[in-house]
Amino acid sequence: MVAASRGEDLLTEACTVLIAAPDLLPTLKQRTGDVNGELLTFSDADALRALEVITKRRPRVVAIEKVFAATPRGAALINRIKADPLLVQSEIRVVSPDSDYGRVSARKPTEAAPAQAPGVAATAAPAAAPMPAPPLDQRGTRRAPRFKIAPNVDAVVDGNAATLLDLSIVGAQVVSGGGLKPNQRVRVALTDETGAIRFNATVAWAKFEISGGGPKYRAGLDIVDGDAAALDAFCGRHKV
């Protein structure tokens, strides 16, 4: 940990937290190489764990990929950071693989405490109640149009038969009899009369359910290496 500059009573750690889609992390790691200290990276599906690290370590810089920052989940993350008085010195940067970063101020200048006249003892001003920050969206983000899928589409998630509820080129929602948990890496296969589409995915969120058919796991998946054209065509064939 390193001390903040003179006159500041909060500490920030000489590190940067970077949050972006998995396929953009390598490029953005290079673009954030100008910062000092340790670089900690998280996928956009892992924003909750990133927030825990940000709150604990109070990094000098929080870099958030531009597309994710524009989503409701990304905006909620930014608002949570800005609403935390312990993170007042953490600079928020919105970054993009193909452009310079933009800076998001963590506090308005008018929120700074007024200067005291020489010789006058400082008195504690009543602290303004912080605005409640919206909760982070547990169910991922929408970086592409997502379509509800018709029933009876065959899907397999890590070897277990699953029901495909909706699909986009970057994500899906499934219900599976096999256990699923957040951050789990899974192998997915979608099959119809034209053949099979196979890809890896990360579980962004998961919920255990009990219905007439027995215990099930409903989960949102972030697709890691899917064929965008094949997935788009699959959506076109099976969307409701």
Task: Report pLDDT digits (tens) over 125-162.
Answer: 344 444 444 444 444 444 568 899 998 888 999 999 99
Q: Can you list the domains of the chain with their CATH numbers?
A: 8-109 (3.40.50), 147-238 (2.40.10.220)
pLDDT (tens digit per residue) in 60-97: 999 999 888 888 778 888 888 988 888 999 999 988 88
**CA 236 to CA 186: how far, in whole Å?**
24
Tokens of 222: 């972030």
Query: Could you tell me whether strands 59-65 and 11-20 are parallel, antiparallel, or unpaired per DSSP bridges?
Result: parallel
Total-model pTM: 0.44
Mean confidence (pLDDT) of the chain: 78
What Å distances lie between residue 194 and 49, 147, 159, 176, 236, CA to CA?
A: 39, 19, 20, 23, 13
Statement: residue 23 has pLDDT above 60: yes
Place of tokens 């949570």: 80
111-115, 199-203, 204-208: which range is least confident on average?
111-115
Query: Which comes out higher in pLDDT, residue 233 or 7?
Result: 233
How large is the angle between the packed helices 72-83 and 47-57, nearest 10 degrees?
10
pLDDT at 113 over 50: no
